Amino acid sequence: MSEDEPLKRGRVWFYRPYWCWDWTPLRRGHDEFARNTIMIGWPFTGRVIIATGYCGEQECVRMRDEMLEEMGEPPWQD
């Protein structure tokens, strides 16, 4: 995969509830596919994550590569 090519994955997914207190129901971030994301919801009710688009910055690509290395194998392989 080239550095400037995002993986073809779903743009919306749900993250299960977990016990943690967080003061904001809306947060911006990145996912393991070097995309910008918006996270909506509280940890104890579950969250919806929406990928808004490919980041395109070298820092996003570096973060993606680090996350994939920590996972051990690419998440798109079943």
pTM > 0.75: yes or no = no
pLDDT level of residue 15 (50, 70, 90 thresholds): confident
Is the confidence at residue 1, as pLDDT, over 50?
no
Distance CA 38, CA 40 (A): 7
Distance CA 70, CA 64 (A): 10
Distance CA 37, CA 57 (A): 14
